[in-house]
Structure 1
Amino acid sequence: MFRCYLRASTTEQDAERAKAILEDFISDSPVEWYIENYSGTMLNRPILNKLLEDALPNDVLLVESVDRLSRLSLDDWEMLKSKINDKKLRLVVLDMPTTHQQVTKKGIESEIMYVINNMLIDLMATMARLDQQKRVERIRQGQERAKAQGKRIGGKGINQDLHARIKKHLQENRLKVEEIAKFEGCGVATVYRIKNLIKNIQIKNEIPL
């Protein structure tokens, strides 16, 4: 049984993006899908917990990449690995071909590759964690620079450039809301919010004084 875990960090990202790729790898094998929008820095994830509860010995835990499974601290990563091992799951990472033979898992060669793969997966988990830490640090530094320049950070500040571009798209009326969101790399809710704001301003301007 394949137990496929798909994760994205926010509701504005598509957690099912890689599903078709994983389906090609699985072919006609029995499969259960576990899909959630949750931060990879959190150990306690509802859908991941359900997968671990459902799992049976020798099931395959399939993920697209290690960072979809973990951006955890070292201690939390060790805890998650322990849970995976306790369930006797075979961890297969799509973008790590050396793990693919865990699907068949036979002989001494497979046991040697299991050890090697564990080291590689630990390395990739560490890189994913460091990448997350660097991202957070860049955001913090950017906020400090903005604050030093007297700019507003946090709260309900508006990205004026994005607002202007979305407004132009809406006025041109050539793209659907979903297409605008994809083109500008923002959430659909953001486009609708600006659309409603424009509509409210138009209504207000039509009211006679």
Structure 2
Amino acid sequence: MFVRAYLRASTKDQDATRARSQLENFAKERGLRIAATYIENESGAKLKRPELFRLLADCQPGDILLVEQVDRLSRLNKDDWEALKREIMNREVKVVALDIQTSHVLLQPSDDFTFRMTEAMNGMMLDMLAAIARKDYEDRRRRQEQGIAAAKAKNKYQGRPENAERNAQIVRMLERGDSWNSIVAATGCSRSTLSRLKARVVERSAPANVVS
């Protein structure tokens, strides 16, 4: 049995490794060692998450998928959550979440009856918390959209604030002549952001018009 930790944050500006030490301590307290850690910055509302599915592909039957909370694993809609569950079940992976006490029992040896009862209870808890995580996601999105609509109505909406530190780094890389591919790989910025900053660099370096 291998323990595989999954760490996720929604955006590249967030620290996906925030709970790493918490998961490592949890495993250590139970005499276990995390064999591999999979880290990604993707929305939990997306089923397509490369690192999560790499983790599952690496798993052998009986391996543990360890997460801090269920919402790190899923903020999926019902159909996508069912698809992810099928993948987990087909690979015979046990999901252990720090916020689900019943799941901790899966780390301990048990007879077949106890294991099946625990697995059933754990499945129900997973379903319930996944549904709560999805509702929280939808509620936050709705409040965000309402706030944006209200700000637009008052002509006060300015969009997402600029990441000044990252953009300054990108500008320096552009001025240095770094390739777009290397800048995207290093900073995680989109090509539309890169294009906008490139235009800013060009505008700044253009000579001022001289009036005779």
Q: TM-score range by the shorter chain?
A: 0.7 to 0.9
Change (3 A) 1:157 1:87: closer
Change (3 A) 1:196 1:111: closer
Paired residues of 1:143 and 1:153 also in contact (CA < 8 A) = no
- 1:37-186 correspondence runs (5 A): 37-107=41-111, 108-154=113-159
Q: Give the distance between the partners of 1:79 and 1:66, measured in 2 at CA.
A: 16
Change (3 A) 1:41 1:196: closer
Paired residues of 1:52 and 1:87 also in contact (CA < 8 A) = yes
> Aligned AA for 1:84?
I
Q: Give the distance between the partners of 1:87 and 1:110, measured in 2 at CA.
A: 17
Paired residues of 2:5 and 2:34 also in contact (CA < 8 A) = no
**Residue equivalent to 1:176:** none
Classify the secondary structure of the residue corresponding to 2:65. Answer: strand
Paired residues of 2:24 and 2:33 also in contact (CA < 8 A) = no
**Residue equivalent to 2:21:** 20
> Aligned AA for 1:100?
H
Distance apart, 1:35 and its partner CA: 0.6
Classify the secondary structure of the residue corresponding to 1:31. Answer: strand
Q: In the alignment, does 2:35 pair up with 1:31?
A: yes
Distance apart, 1:51 and its partner CA: 0.7
Number of residue equivalences: 171
Paired residues of 2:64 and 2:95 also in contact (CA < 8 A) = yes
Q: Give the distance between the partners of 2:50 and 2:170, measured in 1 at CA.
A: 34
Classify the secondary structure of the residue corresponding to 1:61. Answer: strand
Segments of structure 1 that go 5 or more residues without pairing to the other structure are 159-188, 198-209
**Residue equivalent to 1:190:** 164
Distance apart, 1:193 and its partner CA: 4.9
**Identity, % of aligned pairs?**
42
**TM (normalized to structure 2)?**
0.73
**TM (normalized to structure 1)?**
0.74
> Aligned AA for 2:47?
L
Q: Give the distance between the partners of 1:123 and 1:145, measured in 2 at CA.
A: 33
Paired residues of 2:3 and 2:35 also in contact (CA < 8 A) = yes
